[in-house]
Amino acid sequence: MAKNSIDDRYSTCARKMEEKVQSIFFQKEMENEPFKTVWQYCVKKIENTENGGEGLTNYHREAICAYTAGPPENLYLTFNNKVRTMRDAYGSSFPFHSLHFWLTTAVQILKKSDKNRCYTTFRRTDAIFTGDLKQEIRLGQFVSTSFESNLAHFGTRTCFNITTCYGADLKSYSEFEDEKEVLIPPYEKFKIIGKTTKIPDCEIVYILKSTGVQSDLNCKLANKCHGDYFLPTLIYAIVTFHLLLNL
């Protein structure tokens, strides 16, 4: 069930987390590459595009742009690897608090604008996936899927037919609008209700159906005291200082 995933969905604490992202995390994370380069590109890009009226802020639009921007930085690859594995570093050395927050809340806003409809979407990959019928899983990261089932250039080894009730249609906000992208958040749960090897252009197809959400980290960072973010760093600095004195 992707136990190491950063799965915060900010339910009941989005405003509080927005304040912490703005005051604590965003400027610090803008010092890091490739995040800085990609985000600056997206700021300039959305200056020349219209907001679709769904209620997204510029930060939300920039987050979608940064996630879907693709080459040469392919920020989404680094970002998703950290989202899958850095649960214990959430609130400290995880380098993408701001992107995670704005992308998560962008998905939620777009979902609400579509009246929370469930979608049937598709995903292809050349990675190997193993799972059993009736097994409940989480994908543990942001997952790009499509309304189109024939995007074979993404892979032919493992395919997914997904009924998602928490993924959002990115519409024209995606950098690749023609891919008709639906973005699924890390906290959505699915049951494997079928699998087949009887299609010509994919070795195996898993059929997934949404069963709800699991957000173990919900609001834990938003509800932390301000000083808690810096305590590990302060302890490290004090220990290092004393070691240097004894050299």
| pTM exceeds 0.85 for this model | yes
Q: What is the pLDDT along the chain (247 residues), one digit of tens a residue?
A: 899 999 999 999 999 999 999 999 999 999 999 999 999 999 999 998 888 788 999 999 999 999 999 999 999 999 999 999 999 999 999 999 999 999 999 999 999 999 899 999 999 999 999 999 999 999 999 999 999 999 999 999 999 999 999 999 999 999 999 999 999 999 999 999 999 998 889 999 999 999 999 999 999 999 987 555 544 444 444 544 455 555 5
Domains and CATH numbers, the chain: 14-245 (3.90.176.10)
8 Å CB contact between 160 and 175:
no
Instruction: Tell me the pairing of strands 158-164 and 204-213.
Output: parallel
- DSSP state string for 71-107: TTT-HHHHHHHHHHH-GGGTTTT-TTHHHHHHHHHHH
